């Protein structure tokens, strides 16, 4: 698992992401060429939420029905490194995204167990 540090410079993160881009990591990864969506999870303040990146829409959809744990501003802060890194990575495979919008989806079901 790769953990992001919001204080780390984006070019340093970019180097660490090359193995993902080339499909070398994780073990059964695939190259990102031809991808239309990316999916990952984020854990912050002991709370998990899912992220879907729709490349065509240049949008990160955040699936988090529970507003108790994270405000919209906190989620934006959590994802700031990704909003910088993903466009840099995608540019390496000739997909140009100027900026990623963030849209929070709160209509998904809540997990009832811990």
Report all structural domains of the chain as residue ranges with CATH numbers, in order of start: 10-105 (3.30.310.130)
**pLDDT higher than threshold 70 for residue 105:** yes
Rounded to two decimals, the pTM is: 0.75
Most confident of 20-24, 49-53, 89-93, 109-113: 49-53
* Percent of residues, the chain, with pLDDT higher than 90: 21
Rounded Cα distance, 95 and 98, in Å = 10
Question: What mean pLDDT is predicted for residues 92-107?
Answer: 88
**Strands 101-105 and 37-44, bridge-based pairing:** unpaired
What pLDDT score was predicted for residue 30? 83
What pLDDT score was predicted for residue 3? 61
What pLDDT score was predicted for residue 103? 93
Q: What is the pLDDT of residues 9-53, one digit of tens each?
A: 666 666 667 777 778 777 778 888 888 999 988 888 778 889 999
């Amino acid at each position: 698992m790769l953990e992001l540090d919001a204080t780390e410079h984006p070019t340093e993160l970019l180097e660490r992401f090359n193995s993902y881009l080339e499909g070398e990591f994780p073990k059964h990864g695939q190259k990102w060429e031809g991808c239309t969506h990316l999916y990952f999870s984020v854990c912050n303040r002991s709370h998990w939420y899912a992220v879907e990146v729709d490349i065509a829409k240049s949008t990160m959809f955040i699936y988090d029905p529970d507003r108790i744990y994270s405000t919209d501003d906190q989620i934006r802060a959590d994802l700031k490194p990704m909003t910088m890194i993903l466009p840099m990575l995608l540019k390496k495979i000739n997909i140009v995204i100027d900026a990623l919008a963030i849209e929070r989806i709160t209509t998904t079901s809540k997990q009832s167990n811990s």
